[in-house]
Amino acid sequence: MQLDDLEESINLSGSWVTDPSGTIRHVKTNTKFSEEKGISVEGSEYTLKPEDIELDESARLGAGASGVVQKGRVKSTGMMVAIKGIRIEAKDKKDQLLAEVKSLAVAQWCPQLVTWYGGFVSKCIVHVVLELMDMGSLRDLHKKCKEVPEAQLAHISASSIQGLLFLHDRNILHRDIKPENILHNSAGEVKLTDFGISRSLDATLEMAGTQIGTQIYMAPEMCQGEDYNFSVDIWSYGLVLYELATGVFPFPALQNFATLFQCICIDPEPRLDEGQFSAAMTEFCAKCLTREVSERGDSPRMVNHAFVKPSIENSAQTQEAFATFLASLSHRSL
């Protein structure tokens, strides 16, 4: 299957320019997107060309916050990859792409974030080539296993919090933590993905003030339109953990924003049953789902919490155990 041959031109505006060769360049950061030379970020080139990739026309993996994802293969190596196609006709889409690509360039140094291998432009679509996580997202896991065992949740949480710590240490907010954006593979690895709406904060930790992200996983301060910081990612992960542990989302079916606001900002915060789960896990989840920001856990502290620390210290064993667990689910579904 060939890559889509779409519109011949891109409407450029503001800080984006194009040259006669078709290279799209962001003026301020000098990030470039080219059919011939792939993607260049801060002087580093990630070179792939359309002819380097063969798409699997039967395998659409899903859609993220900013594009459709398909399965493909790097022809020269046979390596299976995920290819995310991002349309960039509008300036806001270009800016979103810029944020995502810059975050992906940073993420390549962290084992708990999905690796990217480069990308290229095909007309008005930028194709970003990513590591293929063959078991899908935690949403897929939730469909196979309504209540994920605590030992596996400790491994998932350890990986997720390490990924968030890496981002937060580099002043990057994820802002869309949800089951669909945490992926896993048959080797037992768990990694964060979809940085399409990430936002960098400067060294002073200036607050971001944009309501963005999936609403039901939104932190109270975001829901109220207040300034917020890295701890919004911790709240969102707490909801993911609660949902995987209990099999149900902590808030009832939401019909409108008023109901959402009531659940997130006014009603008692969700809490795991202390008679059903360990003290370490219930405390970890409670620290995530604390409405008062100053009392909520942050990634440097949460990564050392008793619930996840043993998994981090014994990562090879817990990863292997998670892989075995996933294999048992596959056999069970046959």
Contact 297, 165 (CB under 8 A): no
Give the number of C-alpha atoms closer than 13 A to the C-alpha of residue 99, restricted to the C-beta side.
Answer: 22
Query: Which of 134, 169, 176, 298 does the annotation list as catalytic?
Result: 176
Closest CA to 40 of 119, 137, 152, 141: 119
Beta strand 199-200 with 172-173 is antiparallel
Signed CA dihedral, 217, 223, 225, 231: sign only: negative
Q: Which two tokens stand for residue 114?
A: 């999905």
Q: How far is 269 from 10, CA to CA, in rounded Å?
A: 47
What are the DSSP calls for 195-225, one per residue? -TT-EE--TT-PPB----S-GGG--HHHHTT
Sign of the Cα torsion 135, 141, 144, 148 reads: positive
Residues recorded for the chain: 334
Q: Is 4 a catalytic residue?
A: no
HSE of 55, CA atoms in CB hemisphere, 13 A: 20
Q: What is the CA radius of gyration of the chain?
A: 20
C-alpha–C-alpha distance, residues 173 and 213, integer Å = 11
Q: How far apart are CA 180 and CA 139, in angstroms?
A: 5
> CB neighbours of 262 closer than 8 A, spacing ≥ 6?
none
Q: Can you tell me the distance from the alpha carbon of 167 to that of 244, in angstroms, rounded to the nearest whole number? A: 23
Catalytic residues: 176
